[in-house]
Structure 1
């Protein structure tokens, strides 16, 4: 099993390094960037398949996404999981976490060319790249294998997207006002879900909030890639 996670790690390093080297080849990288972010729309389809394969009850409203990548079955498979988990498709889920993070990173680097050349957009691109790497760590280090590394690796991905979207929204508000408005709408959604995560109740369950937190950014990236593609073709 460990060989798969080693391959995930190596693949992440290779792709990220290649993306950095190719970032200035604009004609090639633009299409790759568009496809990368649009492909994020597939994430929740794959997650649904993994949930359906679970051999014990899985509640997507209350349980975190990480539970689907847990490699062992039973109760107390990792800290805080005092309930039963068994996800036969955990390898598919962890590959999905890893690939999702990679395409976020690649899209952030390759689509940077469409933002105004300002310091704030460079910072935003860096933050979105960190967002992608953070998501990748969730797949490379499942919660039951290294809970602390998994948790601390995933934490930046819950926060950095907020300032990134704010910076991009402000940078494009004059030349792309509609996309700027869309960016701020998604910023409000992901920010609101993060705040509510600290006040979870039976009426606002954590699993749902986590999916809204990430899903709003995935949706922003998918729609943004489509808008930029149409605008530049």
Structure 2
């Protein structure tokens, strides 16, 4: 299979999303001092909260993120990269109901990132929670459907990569919402639920970049050279 220029740009967008998102988690977290940011105790959302104080009645914890604006901007750009990657590689993934349903759910997951960034938890908790549900619910279900796409499709050929990621993300989602950390802490379990999707997209982007350009593009270039 050959990769068109728009699809190659989409694959590049997918490649960039995970490094940006992970870097934001690390760098913004390092700016916390009192108390230090904990991946086991604090949620990802805590990095984007605009105010300082005790947050969350279920798991009360002190939240104060000096670089919350940087986190929210990074998450918004992550959303744009994931959405652009999904749209620009739309026809590459293959045809069929499962492939299209998977892509639609992955796109909803990207919308979830945008909502979470635009509405920090301490600004509009309902909108933020909706964003989280789209990420961990719709996005991770999209990952599972992508794993179950027919093997004749591009998504289906990546099943060995996609299925473990989907199962890990869905297990993390279930454990996070039931508040079971299993030694990682509830905050750590949230990362088990959230990180697989952008990491999968990054891996798929790398794989897609290795595909050749369309034959007709090369032929046109060769014809132009002859002239």
SS state at 1:162 partner: helix
Q: In 2, are the aligned partners of 1:138 and 1:150 still within 8 Å (CA)?
A: yes
Structure with max Cα Rg: 2
Pick from 193, 203, 224 the counterpart of residue 204 of structure 2: 224
- Alignment-derived partner of residue 222 in structure 2: none
Within 5 Å, which residues of 2 pair with 1:84-103? Answer: 84-103=62-81
Aligned residue for 1:99, secondary structure, equals helix
Deviation of 1:201 after TM superposition, in Å, equals 4.1
Q: Deviations over 1:53-84 (max 9, x none)?
A: 113222111210000001111224x6656322
Do structure 1's residue 35 and structure 2's residue 15 form an aligned pair?
no
What is the CA distance between 1:175 and its match in structure 2?
5.5
Structure that is richer in helix per residue: 1
Q: Are the equivalent residues in 1 in contact too, given 2:42–2:61 (CA < 8 A)?
A: no
Q: Please report the TM-score for the alignment, with normalisation by the length of structure 1.
A: 0.81
Q: What secondary structure is seen at the aligned counterpart in 2 of 1:75?
A: strand
Alignment coverage as a number of residue pairs: 207
TM-score with structure 2 length normalisation? Answer: 0.83
Q: 1:131-170 to 2 correspondence within 5 Å? A: 131-170=109-148
Structure 1: any 5+ residue segments left out of the alignment? 1-25
- CA distance in 2: counterparts of 1:127 and 1:202, whole angstroms: 28
Instruction: Give structure 2 stretches of 5+ with no counterpart.
Output: 214-227
Matches within 5 A, 1:100-111: 100-111=78-89
Do the aligned partners of residues 191 and 69 (structure 1) sit closer, same or farther apart at CA in structure 2, a change above 3 Å counting?
Answer: same
CA RMSD of aligned residues (A): 2.0
1:207 aligned to 164, 169, 187, which one?
187
The 1:172–1:227 alpha-carbon spacing in structure 2 relative to 1, beyond 3 Å, is farther
- Given that 2:141 and 2:170 are in contact with CA atoms closer than 8 Å, whether structure 1 keeps it comes out as no
Helix, strand or coil for the counterpart of 2:60?
Answer: coil
